[in-house]
Amino acid sequence: MSKILMKGNEAVGEAAIRAGCLHFFGYPITPQSEVPEYLARRLPEVGGVFVQAESEVAASNMIYGAAGVGVRVLTTSSSPGISLMAEALSYIAACELPVVLVNMMRAGPGLGGILPAQGDYLQATKGTAHGDFHLIVLAPSSVQEAVNLVMRAFELAENYRNPVMVIGDGMIGQMMEPVEFPEPAVGKPLDPGDWALTGCKDRPRRIVNSLYLDPEACNRHNFKLTAKWQRITEAEQRSESVYLDEPCDILLTSFGMTYRICKTAADELRAEGIKVGLFRPITLAPFPYQACRAAADRAGRILDVEMNMGQMLEDVKLAVQGTKSIDFLGTAGGVVPSPEDVAKKIREVLGSAPAKNASPKPAPQKKRKDKERA
Amino acid sequence: MKKIFSATPLLVDRPTHYCPGCTHGVIHRLVAETIDELGIRERTVGIAPVGCSVLAYEYFNVDMFEASHGRAPAVATGAKRARPELIVFSYQGDGDLASIGMGEIIHAANRGEKITVIFVNNAIYGMTGGQMAPTTMPGQYSTTTPGGRNVKEVGYPVRMAELIASLRTPAFVARAAVHSPKEILRAKEYIRRAFSYQVAGTCFSLVELLSICPTNWGLSARESEKWLEREMMPYYPLGIKKEPETAEAEVKRG
Amino acid sequence: MASTEVLMAGFGGQGMLLSGKLLAHAAMEKGLEVSWLPSYGPEMRGGTANVTVCISDKPVASPYIVYPRALLVMNQPSLEKFAPRVKPGGLIVVNSSLVPVKSDRQDCQVVYVAANQVAQQAGTGRAANLVMLGVYVGWSEVVSLESTVRAIEEEFAEKAKFIPANVAAFKAGYEEGRKARGAKS
Ligand SMILES: Cc1ncc(C[n+]2csc(CCOP(=O)(O)OP(=O)(O)O)c2C)c(N)n1
Ligand code: SF4
């Protein structure tokens, strides 16, 4: 199949169908509304189900129900909506149901803004909701990778019967890039296995439940979930290291779209002879600590760049264990760091003078007066 | 020369962000005039929703909250219960009130919270770019009902005024429209009564206002007014749906 | 070619996002790597709408570009905001039908084209965005005339009656772009 030019949000919707997911429940929120809009059009064409829920609280409980009866199911939202889904995600993880959700992050906290941000890293990877559970979290940095990871997310969700989040930002949702989809056009349906509530014809009844009034039973259940997470941690870490064949002066750590920005900065400085390496986790959870440590070992020092106030930074610090000095460059509120910002920061921390004929100074930016499409 | 029109002091003197032709502005004015006329400005607290009117807190010259999506009646409940002397109103769209906030509004009404709810029904999600609302008309195009609202799949539009009026708890519930001068006068009268019931400490009050969204209906303002009259008004009949049994007479006398 | 970027800016509804998409589409068909990154959200409603298209023979690293190689503008606020950021030696195309002022950039080539009038002559005043695209393609030759025409035909496949006027507007702009290029070298 040849490449087509597609918006990230629409590509996410199409990827789900290719993965055989024909059930979508969601609620509009910028900057991801093109996913429900696309699926409202596409799912009926392929015999699927599209429901616009009355809220994210409802949407997340709808995917709980759909997954419980053994269908492949997707929901998508953006930061404030994900907060509302948190409760149901705890139930879904506790009941070990396979669901995939996508978070196209926007600025926060609170109503924040609709522009791109990465402020939900900690929420996604550590503290999504009440109780001891983990989401598997995948962070694409291109539209094609978003397609690949959405499809992979369904496999992981089903292999481990665990919720999987694909986390992007407003930029990847709104941007168009060429993408290729695998055949067939509609993936095979999920095999409901031995756990889904399909009607207890000729078999004992099944229960999808997360209530354990007996503390010992609840304790055992927690150990079981933790053992599963251990297996996921051992088998599923993914990351990308670039320009690390030889030792480098500085390693840039980042994820998602921010990685692309760092890449441009790195290429620019490497052309001047400054050795810049790159590391990005593809699985934010489980975080690839060893790979991050190995990358750090090749570098003089580290600069972590994120569109938040320093969230993945905590994991980088855990990986590096104090062996390297780490600087941080962060933005929030929908402000995107430019490649020039990153390059400037690298020069600053390396104490090197700026190269001649660097790009012109940015024009003083007028304050934007946007009508919030909150 | 006789001055026949002036700006309402209750509205902050600044341009709004609403699209040209949008009737959110008309409704703002009616609410503001009412608060002014009843002389309750200093004890009024308004609650802006999430929706096109999210910035309403910028426009009403009274104390204002900004609530999360759909939860304005809950915020109003907290405020009113904590300080019963306040006049508390929420201003909500149809996505906010009838979809994500359906639970909050029904329970606030059913508890008989002495708050006033201004409910703007424009049959669409304005702010997010024209998705289906619970009030979207059968067959109406929206970006999430590309083939028109199919009532076999998503049910019929919710008649919120009637739904709330069906609760046993006493309340004042009415529906008006704001697309023509005549109906605007009626809307003003209902809004005045809704606030008056709260001032008298009588009951919960809600006024549903049929409003236009030229931007997401894909029509001019003129065409939108006609569309509202032709498509919405037969389905959403105007008038008072419910009045409290007590104190009615006094309030009517003003 | 290595890499290049163009920022296209105007008011919402003037079609600059579409121009960007056509360029990205044509470049993709040529086997190049592309990205199309719009400003999104509230500004789209009557406010400014702009898009950055990156084209490269390698995978596009950052699609977010502050200093583009070329700028096409359909309104004065965009000229004021973005012209100072164009890389020295780059191109600025100004729709002089709508922008009454000149750019003070001496180190870039600035082309003024009355895109609305040119489009009108080509058959529809609404295709000023294609005139602007034409100027850019003619000047840069980053994609060919034919491949852009094919992209226009595909994009308008369901509204075929608009194709001739849009193609004509694009070609008229393309000629202007060629002329401007010639004037420079
Ligand atoms: C939890 C959450 N979910 C979704 C949104 C996105 N959102 C903002 S406004 C809106 C719909 C508003 O529609 P309506 O209440 O009809 O008001 P209108 O814009 O038409 O005035 C939605 C879904 C949000 N801000 N928060
Ligand atoms: S989108 Fe609709 S409801 Fe919102 S301001 Fe514009 S016209 Fe009014």
Write the single-letter amino acid at C31.
Answer: G
Q: Please provide residue C49's backbone torsions phi and psi, each rounded to the nearest 5 degrees.
A: -130, 120
At A352 the pLDDT is 64
Q: How far is CA A190 from CA A8, C66, C91, in A?
A: 25, 45, 53
| pLDDT number for residue B9 | 85
Give yes or no for residue A360 having a pLDDT over 50: no
Overall domain count for chain C: 1
CATH code assigned to B24-253: 3.40.50.970
Q: Is it the case that residue A362 has pLDDT exceeding 70?
A: no
Nearest residue to C47 via CA among C55, C38, C36: C38
State residue A282's pLDDT score. Answer: 98
Distance CA(C71)–CA(C111), nearest Å, equals: 10
Helix (H) or strand (E) holding A169: strand A164-169
Average pLDDT along chain A: 93
pLDDT at A338: 96
Compute the distance between CA of residue A211 and CA of residue C96 in angstroms, rounded to an integer. Answer: 69
- Where do we find the tokens 């009404």? B109
Q: Is the pLDDT of residue A368 over 50?
A: no
Q: How far apart are the first and last CA of chain C?
A: 18
The string of pLDDT tens digits covering residues A284-310 is 999 999 999 999 999 999 999 999 999
Q: Is A118 on the interface with B (CB under 8 A)?
A: no
| A270 in contact with chain C, both atoms CB, cutoff 8 A | no
Q: Which residue has the tokens 């095979």?
A: A188
pLDDT, tens digit only, all 185 positions of chain C: 689 999 999 988 899 999 999 999 999 999 999 999 998 755 444 467 899 999 999 999 999 999 999 999 999 999 999 999 999 999 999 999 999 999 999 999 999 999 999 999 999 989 999 999 999 999 999 999 999 999 999 999 999 999 999 999 999 999 999 999 987 65
Buried b (16+ CB within 10 A) or exposed e, B119-140: bbbbbbbbbbbbbbbbbbbeeb
Q: Which two three-digit tokens encode residue A213?
A: 């009034």
Cβ atoms < 10 Å from Cβ of A94? 22
CA pair distance B136, B210, nearest whole angstrom: 12
Question: Which residues of chain B are within 8 Å of residue C46 when distances are taken between CB atoms?
Answer: 19
Contact C36 A176 (CB under 8 A): yes
Q: Verify that A205 and A246 share a domain, yes or no.
A: no
The count of CB pairs under 8 A between chains A and C is 97
Tell me, using a 6 A CB cutoff, whether residue B214 lines ligand 2.
Answer: yes
Q: Compute the count of residue pairs across chains B and C with CB atoms less than 8 Å apart.
A: 3
Q: Counting beta carbons within 10 angstroms of the beta carbon of residue A214, is it exposed (0 to 12), middle (13 to 18) or buried (19 or more)?
A: exposed
| Mean of pLDDT values over A328-357 | 87
A28 and B125 within 8 Å at the Cβ level: the answer is yes
The B87-93 sheet, strands edge to edge:
B63-66, B44-48, B87-93, B116-121, B204-210, B171-177, B239-242
| Burial readout C44-55 (b: 16 or more C-beta within 10 A, e: otherwise) | bbebbbbbbbbb
- Residue A139 is predicted with a pLDDT of 98
Q: Are A252 and A120 part of one and the same domain?
A: no
Predicted local confidence at residue C41, as pLDDT: 59
Instruction: Read off the amino acid at residue A258.
Output: T
Q: Which DSSP string do the residues of A194-220 spell out, in sequence order?
A: TTS-S--TTS----------SHHHHHH
Closest by alpha carbon to A299, among A313, A278, A316?
A: A278
pLDDT of residue C43: 42
**Within an 8 Å CB–CB cutoff, is residue A373 touching chain C?**
yes
Determine which of A4, A114, A143, A176 to mutate to test the interface with C (most C C-beta atoms within 10 Å): A176
**B247, amino acid identity:** A
Is residue A69 a contact partner of residue A45, using CB atoms and an 8 Å limit? no
* CB atoms A171 and C47 under 8 Å: no
Nearest to A143 by CA among A107, A104, A108: A104
CB neighbourhood size of A199 (10 A)? 10
The CA-atom distances, in angstroms, between A238 and each of A146, A289, A311 are 14, 10, 19
Measured between CA atoms, the residue of chain B closest to residue C41 is B128
**Interface pTM, i.e. ipTM:** 0.93
Residues pairing with B47 in the sheet? B65, B90
**CA-based max dimension of chain A:** 78
- With H, G, I as helix, E, B as strand and everything else as coil, classify residue A49: strand
The whole-angstrom separation of Cα C37 and Cα A196 is: 42
Statement: residue A357 has pLDDT above 50: no
Average confidence score pLDDT of chain B: 94
Ligand 1 atom having least distance to the Cα of B52: 19
Tokens at A186, concatenated:
């509609």
Chain B contact for A65 (CB, 8 A cutoff):
no
Range of the domain at C177: 4-184
Give the type of residue at A293. Answer: R
pLDDT digits over B160-201, tens only? Answer: 999 999 999 999 999 999 999 999 999 999 999 999 999 999
Partner C contacted by A227 (CB < 8 A):
no
* CA B251 vs CA A214, B190, B200, B242, B244: distances in Å: 58, 12, 8, 14, 10
| A40, A98: one domain | yes
Instruction: Assess whether A115 and A39 both reside in one domain.
Output: yes
- How far, in Å, is the centroid of ligand 2 from the Cα of A58? 26
| B22 Cβ inside 6 Å of ligand 2 | yes
Please report, for chain B, the start and end positions of each structural domain, with discontinuous segments joined by +.
Answer: 24-253
DSSP state string for C102-119 = ----SSSEEEEE-HHHHH
Closest CA to ligand 1's atom 3: A81
DSSP-derived pairing of the beta strands B116-121 and B87-93: parallel
Band (pLDDT 50/70/90 cuts) for residue A88 is very high
Q: How many CB atoms lie within 10 A of CB A59?
A: 27
Tokens of C183: 């004037």
- Measured from the Cα of B214, ligand 2's closest atom is 7
pLDDT band at A2, cuts 50/70/90? confident
Please give the number of the atom of ligand 1 that sits closest to the Cα of B49. Answer: 15
In a domain, A373, yes or no: no
- Do A199 and A336 share a domain, yes or no? no
For residue A324, give the CATH number of its domain: 3.40.50.920
Q: What percent of chain A has pLDDT over 70?
A: 94
pLDDT at residue A354 is higher than 90: no
C-alpha dihedral over A167, A168, A169, A174, to 10 degrees?
-140
Q: Which is nearest to A96 in space by CA: A135, A148, A149?
A: A135
pLDDT tens digits for range C98-109: 999 999 999 999
Q: Which bound ligand lies closest to the C-alpha atom of B19? A: 2
Cα–Cα distances in Å, from A92 out to A136, A192, C25?
13, 16, 41
pLDDT at res. C118: 97
Q: Is B125 on the interface with A (CB under 8 A)?
A: yes
Which atom of ligand 1 has the smallest separation from the CA of B92? Answer: 15
What pLDDT, on a 0 to 100 scale, did the predictor assign at position B5?
79
Q: Whose CA is nearest to atom 20 of ligand 1?
A: B126
User: Is position A362 within any domain?
Assistant: no
Query: Which pLDDT tens digit goes with each residue over B190-247?
Result: 999 999 999 999 999 999 999 999 999 999 999 999 999 999 999 999 999 999 975 4
Question: Predicted confidence band at A120 (pLDDT cuts at 50, 70, 90)?
Answer: very high
pLDDT over 60 at A356, yes or no: no
Task: Quote the ligand 2 centre to C11 CA distance (angstroms).
Answer: 18
Q: A152, A46, A169, A63: which is closest to A114 by C-alpha?
A: A169
Instruction: Dump pLDDT digits (tens) for B69-90.
Output: 999 999 999 999 999 999 999 9
H or E segment to which residue B204 belongs: strand B204-210
DSSP state for residue A73 in the 8-state scheme: E
Backbone angles phi, psi at B117, to 5 degrees: -115, 125
Q: Strands A136-138 and A164-169, how do they pair? A: parallel
Mean pLDDT of B27-44: 96
- Start-end of H helices in B62-145: 72-82, 94-95, 102-111
Q: Is C114 on the interface with A (CB under 8 A)?
A: no
Look up the domain containing A195 and give its range. Answer: 4-235
- Please answer yes or no on whether B144 and A29 come within 8 Å at the CB atom: no
Query: Residues lining ligand 1, CB < 6 A?
Result: A 27-29, 56, 80-81, 84, 374; B 50-53, 69, 93-96, 120, 122, 124-128, 133
Using a CB–CB cutoff of 8 Å, tell me whether C31 touches chain A: no
- Residue B44 pLDDT class (50, 70, 90 cuts): very high
Whether A8 and A75 map to the same domain: the answer is yes
Residue B7, classed as helix, strand or coil, is coil
Atom of ligand 1 nearest to the CA of B213: 20
**pLDDT of B3 higher than 90:** no
Contact B19 CB / ligand 2 (< 6 Å): yes
Instruction: Look up residue B215 and give its two tokens.
Output: 């931007």
Q: Which chains touch A (3 or more CB pairs under 8 A)?
A: B, C
Decide if B54 and A52 are in contact by the 8 Å CB cutoff: no
Cα atoms in the Cβ-side hemisphere of radius 13 Å centred on A241: 19
pLDDT at A365 over 50: no
Residue that finishes a domain, picked among A172, A206, A235: A235
Judgement on whether residues A77 and A194 belong to the same structural domain of the protein: yes
Domain of residue C76, CATH code: 3.40.920.10
Q: What is the pLDDT of residue C42?
A: 53
Q: State the pLDDT at residue A366.
A: 45
